[in-house]
């Protein structure tokens, strides 16, 4: 029983972002990279499933420049994944080509009983790759999942919808589940797990070997820029009456909300 986890390596939220000179994306020099936070919940759910189902194996898979992307896979291995696969692909691959590459690599490994992923990546914030992977594999899928129940034939999930409501979806396996943060509490990688992960061989797949033409890329990135600097805070001085007068003037003449 093969369980796959699709994950992504993203810039740490505390990393200072710089724009590349040509405006095609971010300057990756000096960035601290981490596993996408939502994908941590996907890895945890896959490992929990393995622990309850003898014979299940967890395969972590990612697409990206292998020189750095393998570190996210080693984190997954340290958390309890059994094997890992990196698709060595260009830095700015779009969601469509990424999903197609992941789907073809999973098919080449003999398919999956279940596939887990995070609901979105915190860098691109598109929430599209998991659904595309499932569509390429022609399997049912659902996202924003916060609760799961499994049987041999199907999985029943609870997902968050607008207004704080919950939606219950039942899917026949094989299927894909995109995790929300409420699904579980990801475990910390233990020291023995980290040491074992360092010794494991990560399978490498070249993107060029998957037969995906460059013309299939649907999106090209250009014109990236940082948001404008926020204006300085204006402090109101004087007594209470003076401050009220200044505030009314600012709201009327500057903000124009009165």
pLDDT of residue 205: 95
- Find the mean pLDDT for residues 82-111: 93
Q: Which residue has the tokens 């409501």?
A: 165
Q: CB–CB of 61/105 below 8 Å?
A: yes
pLDDT tens per residue, range 106-164: 999 999 999 999 999 998 888 899 999 999 999 999 999 999 999 989 999 999 888 88
- Contacts of residue 124, Cβ cutoff 8 Å, sequence gap at least 6: 95
d(CA 114, CA 98): 19
Pairing outcome for strands 175-179 and 114-118: parallel
The pLDDT assigned to 28 comes to 84
**Minimal CA–CA distance to 231: which of 253, 254, 258?**
254
Query: How long is the chain?
Result: 258
Q: Is 55 helix (H, G, I), strand (E, B) or coil?
A: coil
Question: How far is residue 155's CA from residue 128's CA, in Å, rounded to a whole number?
Answer: 21
Q: How distant, in Å, are the alpha carbons of 62, 73, 106, 155, 170 from that of 86? A: 5, 8, 11, 27, 31
pTM of the model: 0.85
For 193-243, what is each residue's pLDDT tens digit?
A: 899 999 999 999 999 999 887 667 788 778 888 888 888 888 888 999 999
Ordered by start, the domain boundaries in the chain are 2-216, 230-258
pLDDT of residue 57: 96
2-216 has which fold? Rossmann fold (3.40.50)
Report the candidate in 227, 130, 239 with the shortest Cα–Cα distance to residue 176: 130
Half-sphere exposure of 209 (CA within 13 A, CB side): 9
Question: Residue 215: what pLDDT?
Answer: 63
The mean per-residue pLDDT over the stretch 245-254 comes to 90
Considering only CA atoms, which of 56, 66, 65 is closest in space to residue 5? Answer: 56
Q: The tokens of 97 are what?
A: 């080509």
Least confident residue range of 3-12, 169-178, 202-211, 229-238: 229-238
User: What are the Cα distances from residue 30, in Å, to 66, 77, 98?
Assistant: 17, 25, 24
Cα dihedral 50, 51, 52, 53 sign = positive
State yes or no: pLDDT of 179 exceeds 90: yes
Beta bridge partners of 117: 6, 178
Question: Nearest 5°: phi and psi at 63?
Answer: -125, 135
Distance of CA 206 to CAs 68, 81, 224, Å?
15, 22, 28
């Amino acid at each position: 029983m093969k369980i796959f986890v699709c994950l992504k390596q993203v810039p740490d939220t505390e990393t200072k972002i710089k724009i590349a000179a040509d405006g095609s994306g971010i300057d990756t020099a000096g960035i601290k990279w981490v596993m996408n936070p939502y994908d941590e919940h996907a890895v945890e759910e896959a490992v929990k499933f393995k622990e309850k189902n003898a014979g299940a194996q967890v395969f972590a898979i990612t697409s990206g420049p292998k020189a750095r992307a393998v570190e996210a896979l080693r984190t997954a291995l340290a958390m309890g994944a059994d094997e890992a696969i990196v698709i060595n692909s260009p830095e700015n691959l779009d969601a469509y080509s990424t999903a197609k590459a992941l789907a073809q690599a999973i098919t080449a490994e003999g398919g999956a009983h279940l596939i887990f992923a995070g609901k979105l990546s915190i860098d691109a914030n598109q929430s599209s790759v998991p659904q595309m992977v499932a569509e390429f594999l022609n399997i049912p899928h659902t996202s924003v999942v916060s609760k799961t129940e499994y049987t041999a034939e199907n999985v029943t999930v609870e997902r968050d919808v607008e207004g704080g409501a919950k939606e219950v979806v039942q899917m026949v396996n094989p299927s894909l589940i995109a995790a929300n943060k409420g699904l579980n509490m990801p475990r910390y990688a233990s020291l023995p797990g980290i040491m074992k992960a360092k010794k494991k061989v990560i399978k490498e797949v070249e993107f060029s070997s998957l037969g995906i033409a460059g013309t299939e890329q649907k999106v090209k990135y250009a014109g990236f820029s940082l948001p404008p600097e926020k204006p300085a805070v204006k402090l109101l001085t004087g007594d209470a009456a003076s401050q009220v007068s200044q505030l009314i003037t600012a709201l009327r003449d500057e903000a124009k909300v009165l």
